[in-house]
Structure 1
């Protein structure tokens, strides 16, 4: 492993790349399951949860949307209960609010009824509401019918990530961007950071989120997917009194996004969004952020063009709402007729790391793959934050199996 050289060496058993909520949950689960295991987490930012974890709406999802038996469904239902318990144990702000899913057009009613059945199959309590009953929960919201999902909640995921880092007992190294990986199946893994430091371990865990496919290739494993970044754009509601809790439209099953929704956060503010548009960089939080190498990576992937051809009508609507506040307001008014364009105040955007297959299929479930001395988390979209504790345990289980084989 002498090919990777640097100024200093930090030896350990497991090396986790990525200090978002999944990477930190994995470190936490490893040290809980196997006390004494030496874990190091490398995070390129100066602190945890700076990207997907810290730039979402803070919802603890119930699991109602996800195909019964899928990892998403199992982990979301289990993870929601565990996340509430974790927040209560450590004094992290949270609340179980419930949410409404509202049909505003007749063609949405069959999909709404299908969600009721899916919720029941996933063991989630659901109450069906007529148009007049919606006002019991949200007086300003209008729709033809709705369902109330009582197990949905909200929390501060940034605080959760910080607590996981503190409680894991792992060595967390911030400002440590990985630039080279040297894996020798008979010896272990050595990683060099941009600062010239070298970290050696028996097993590598790739939880790099927006860069997970690139880290997999650095390791020598072909991920079989490409991360195509989608920016989610939000507004803050200037009149938060219009919304009591969480209000969602009926999602389009052909696309893995939930549509523009209303979310009262743990701070009392109401976020509106996101819409989903292609980002011009993996951390492209605005149209002016362009990274040519990353954009070329997206454009060179056949799956990205197949997505564009397959979903161009849907995408055109998302782009229109991105460039036109009036169009965004019109989408919101389907649920909340009282809202005006002046009520919408721009808020920070997020970027979703969406794994896409070569044929243009959007990977819809969590995707975890293994290579020699490596475990790669290659797709962890929403509800990854909700499900982070069980996901962390599953990744930890695989890591400890590999560690037991190579020691």
Structure 2
């Protein structure tokens, strides 16, 4: 069998740093996530490079010695792409690409590329294209001098890269046209939301790849695309759900991530409006992920940016079927019982106990505790419905 271009992985190296604001453990976690992003984009990581710095080098991000190590490995192993875990300035990007003589991407560019590959509808495509052009605009100098090296692959999907398209005036015109197009889409979506009638709106939010779409499929008996990759869902999906005697609308939204590019937060305004206008949030968390608390904080930060952090919320701790914990032997009197040794019962006794009835542990894929999930959602939706429509008593007779 002859391998096609699509079946061959693009080999990459990952590069991160350890600073006073990001210790070695955090750096490793971020690179784990960057490797997952790379896999989602179609690449295969061969090696990671990490350097301890007080702050990134303003010219080359890494120190000259470490950058030489990266170059040697790239040359000796025929690597085509180097991906940095932080956003690079236009100057850093130009300098690093000149030294390494290969394609250089940063985390922002990688995420934009994944979004470009995943976008299906006209709305999602326009939102991603706008974010890409906003990212591209200050980097046009680099694009002019390296057009001959652009042969596709990770980071090269989306807007074309011909010389005329990289002219600043043309790019600004494209950004202006895309903004107008998205304003029109925003108006259409706003009308759609108003036409959905007097129904309570529930939005699924959470970090990417926590199982929102799987939960949506189970609860609404629909077939929303779900996959064990980052950003499997970009387009907002709305389904009518009925629990007992109360109908409501459930929305599956794009997943969040640490260091989410500001261009995407802005360009996906119409998608995030579904969250802003929701009456109830179901914050889905992957309890099996060792850094799920950081994921919660990241999601809350973005909810804060869109003025939605104070909405009524139920915390859905998903993937209990995949949860594992380290075991301390009975005769081990030295090892401290840190979070990595917590059982699910231990977690229930932590800060999670403070939110009490506003939390639940489930497995969407195994359909565990879904009856309790439905009861909690029903109670919250019913309470909101009574507040909004106090005279519709007939709805509540069972």
Larger Rg: 2
| TM-score bucket (shorter structure) | under 0.3
Q: As a proportion of its length, which structure holds more strand?
A: 1
Q: As a proportion of its length, which structure holds more helix?
A: 2
